Amino acid sequence: MNFSEIFKQSNQLCRISPDGRYLATCVQYRLVVRDVNSLQILHLYTCLDQIVHMEWSSDSLFILCAMYKRGLVQVWSLEQPDWHCKIDEGSIGLVSSRWSPDGRHILNTTEFHLRVTVWSLCTKAVSYIKYPKACQKGIDFSRDGSYMALAERRDCKDYVSVFVCEDWHLLRHFETETQDLAGLEWSPNGCVLAVWDSCLEYKVLLYSLDGRLLSSFSAYEWSLGIKSLAWSPSSQFLAIGSFDEKVRILNHITWKKITEFEHPATICSPKTVVYKEVEKRPALSIQDLSSHSVSSGCPLLAVQSKYEISQPPFQIPVVKPDLDRANPKVGVSSLAFSADGRYLATKNDNMASVVWVWNMQKMSLEAVLEQTAAVRCFQWDPRRPRLALCTGTPRLYLWSPAGSVSVQVPSEGGFQVHALSWHSNGDSLVLIGKEHLCLCYMDTEDKSTDSNIWTK
């Protein structure tokens, strides 16, 4: 495992291009494009204001930089560095900006979600979509990029509009039976649209591509409902994480619950492997502790850690949330299926430092990873069943069915990993800190050394 040097970034805007060749980062108002392998700066663009949002187009030819305060979107081209494009939303304001799947249209959402403007880079045509809903996830594109589902709200009723991305033709427009639609997501095969209600009501509605209601699922009434939702890559399962600390799996044939995954505070099953992160503080004498070394975060003081396998029964530290406040820190907030659909990683907010890995073939708990700090981000490798997670410490944690490993990110300035993102070929990771970023290259040739460090 190799680590690159630390680079500066701002707003955690670091994206690898979809074709995997470039890494784009934003530093204040500059956009830096590097080559992924050599990390050489290939292009440098300057925007008019601090970049708040940055996105690659699907063909990796253009980059969109949005500056919400100024209401500006600037588009840069990689092929032609001289080419420029600027979209000024004017007094109508800008709240969000994104690419369309064909990489030639930009969808800007105005302030107060008044409308969505579809700007085209190919023609002078501009389209407007009225009454978009301001919710957790109001727009979703199907995986093949042919359709867009948009949540709308008018007259205190929720609607879903399905557009054909080719020419923004409104395909279907139907009302949904939700109280307050919180989000929608296409299934990976593009045939089913899952629509879920806000947390005040547990309801998932499943619509077919042509707008027919296939099924509705509601696990319970009154208590706080759905917190997160994820489709399995084969579209076979729909995992719903809710505030009652459970994940319910629905099957795509009957849309009924086939199993429930609980997150109890005590794990007794002997088949589950529990990895507990254990910190090893280095022993230092007083002479070593000079004020300089302490302030600069000398690597000597870096706390090493490793995984230890704990024996059942295993107690998980639970933090009781304050239920009087809105959006309490309880329930399953993150769900992610591995690329082959065999594993599901979940995180329960009461037990923020624990990641649960479920085996979807056996429908049982495969592994539990307990960290010393709250888990901030986890993501599956796009190619193989390998999970990378970070907890805001200068360490990267990897889990695979072979075992798990804790890797220290070599840095001098105390680089804390706040977020991470995999390269599309699964061979490298972008580790994003508060103000810095680092690339981690996985060893693909020498697997044996890797296996030595795995804790199994």
Partner 1 sequence: MPESALEHQNTAGSAVVYRMSPLGHFSQSEAPSLSGHRSPFVLTSFCTEDNVLECRSYINQEVSSLGLRAVWTPTDGPAELNVVAVLNSLYELIQLHRQGLRALDDMEVERQRSASNTELLQLSNTRLKGQLELSKRENTSLLEKERQLQLKVKNLQSCLKNEKEEVQRLQNIIASRASQYNHDMKRKEREFGKLKERLNQLLVDKKEKKQAMEVLNYVERADGKRSMWKTGRTEARHEGEVYRTLLSDYDARQRELVLENSEQRKVLQQMKRDMVSLLRGSKPARREETPGDPQTQGDSEDSEEVFESSCVDAREKLTNSIRLKWRKLKSHMERLDSQASLVQAGEGAEPDAVPLETHGQEMERLKLEIQQCKDFIHSQQQLLQQRLTSPCEEEEAAAIPPGSPMQGEGGRPGERGRLGEDWRALEEQRTHFEKERKTFTEAAIRLSHERMMFEEDRATWLKHQFLHWTPFTDQNQPEMTEGEQEAASVFSPECLPGSPSPETSSSPRCQALQTQSTADPYRSLPPSPESSHSPTQPITINGCIGELPIGSSGGTATVRTQLTS
Interacting residues toward partner 1 by CB under 8 A: 58-59, 75, 77, 82-93, 102-104, 111-112, 117, 119-126, 146, 164, 166-167, 169, 171, 189-191, 199-200, 208-210, 222-224, 253, 323-328
60 close to 50: Cβ distance less than 8 angstroms = no
Closer residue to partner 1 (CB): 236 or 310: 236
CB of 436 to partner 1, least distance (A): 33
Which has the closest alpha carbon to 319: 244, 375, 265?
A: 265
CB of 135 to partner 1, least distance (A): 11
Closer residue to partner 1 (CB): 125 or 213: 125
Closer residue to partner 1 (CB): 94 or 420: 94
Give 240-275 as a 3 state SS string.
EEECCCEEEEEECCCCCEEEEEECCCEECCCCCEEE
Closer residue to partner 1 (CB): 93 or 392: 93
Which has the closest alpha carbon to 31: 70, 69, 77?
A: 77
CA dist., res. 421 & res. 406, Å (int): 17
Closer residue to partner 1 (CB): 85 or 301: 85
CB of 121 to partner 1, least distance (A): 5
Integer-rounded Cα radius of gyration of the chain? 23
DSSP state of 12: T
CB of 257 to partner 1, least distance (A): 20
- The CA-to-CA distance between both ends of the chain, in Å, stands at 19
Measured in whole angstroms, the distance separating CA 132 from the mean position of its chain's CA atoms is 23
CB of 343 to partner 1, least distance (A): 22
Closer residue to partner 1 (CB): 91 or 311: 91
Closer residue to partner 1 (CB): 321 or 392: 321
Contacts with 324 (C-beta within 8 Å, 6 or more apart), sequence order:
none
Report CA-CA distances (Å) from 448 to 293, 367, 395, 452, 453.
36, 23, 22, 6, 9
CB of 54 to partner 1, least distance (A): 18
CB of 52 to partner 1, least distance (A): 18
Q: What single-letter amino acid sits at 388?
A: A
Angle at the Cα of 345 from the Cα atoms of 255 and 193, rounded to 5 degrees: 35
Give the count of beta carbons closer than 10 Å to the beta carbon of residue 320.
9
CB of 325 to partner 1, least distance (A): 6
Closer residue to partner 1 (CB): 71 or 241: 71
